[in-house]
Amino acid sequence: MTSPQKLPLVAVIATGGTIASRKGAEGAASPALTGQDLLDLLPPLPLRLRAVELLAKDSSTLTLADMQGISDEVGLQLADPDIAGVVILHGTDAMEETALLVRLQHHAQKPVVFTGAQFSADSTAPDGPANLAHAVQLALSGNGVRLAFGGQVLPVWGLYKAGTDRADAFALAGTADPELPPLPAPIGGLRIDLIAVHPGADAVHLDASLAAGAQGIVLVALGSGNATPQIVAGVTRALAAAVPVVTSSRVPEGVLTPSYGGGGGGHDLQAAGAIHSRLLRPGQARILLAALIANGASSDQIAQAFA
């Protein structure tokens, strides 16, 4: 029989999210359970668990500084020789972003697993306990950053939330998972804006981001990464101000190819200097752009990372 002291130790970092949420008197769900509360719901498992109470937020409210704080805590836990693996309990609205940041900043040689829930802890069929049990067991094998959710195990590059009302909430935009050098510089002080593009869009929002001091911009473009002539002109102004622009798409899946012209298509955006994101959708494109800017990447290096 293995003594408790010799069982592997997994750190479980609590940040809030639906997995920790219950409905209040007004009927709205918000984080109410601690990480230890959630661990106490698990059946006996052949491992030891360390609850790390970091945040209690809905992930829709997380700033880049909050995401950086989560990544920093992951780094601290990974550096502990007693830790076999790390689990992060996180809200689903921004899970794909924080997970990518952790992957970019830590080339983890231990397992790091993100999980959460679609249904609150007091719902009629909460999914959090099963996701958590799966995640802590997954944190004993392999290495690198993965997602355990709804019975699936997924890598985090290209991850996006695909559904709001089903247990298997996440999918992948594609299968690429490139090798990038570590990007350890903190991103908390940066402003990277997403600009939604609609048919016939002008550049008012893009210009407003520039005026607000954005250091990078991601276009949530149409189709395979298309916009309008007005947006192309705005991209030219951004690049003149030394603000990199990345083109992603509101379409959730598939490789994005800058093949259309007409004055505002993806080909025209690329010709104006925008960098085409072949796979990453807007949320993750924002994180990768932030990490590259924080680490002093050149325009060519940014383009290569997105290609």
Nearest Cα residue to 129 out of 38, 9, 30 = 38
Q: Is the C-alpha dihedral spanning 26, 28, 30, 36 positive or negative? A: positive
β-strands 159-161, 170-172 pairing: antiparallel
Q: Which amino acid is at 43?
A: P
d(CA 264, CA 31): 43
| Residue 228 is among the residues annotated as catalytic for this protein | no
Contacts of 3 (CB under 8 A, 6+ apart): none
HSE value, Cβ hemisphere, 13 Å, CA-based, for 108 = 32
Q: Is the C-alpha dihedral spanning 181, 182, 188, 189 positive or negative? A: negative
**Residue 217 contacts residue 193 (beta carbons within 8 Å):** yes
For the sheet with 192-196, list strands across it: 192-196, 216-221, 245-249, 275-276
Contacts of 258 (CB under 8 A, 6+ apart): 224, 225, 247, 265, 266, 267, 269, 270, 276
d(CA 148, CA 111): 12
Alpha carbon 31 to chain centroid distance?
20
d(CA 15, CA 87): 11
d(CA 139, CA 259): 42
Choose the catalytic residue: 2, 15, 18, 164: 18
DSSP 274: P
Q: DSSP 3-state assignment of 196? A: strand
Give the active site residues.
18
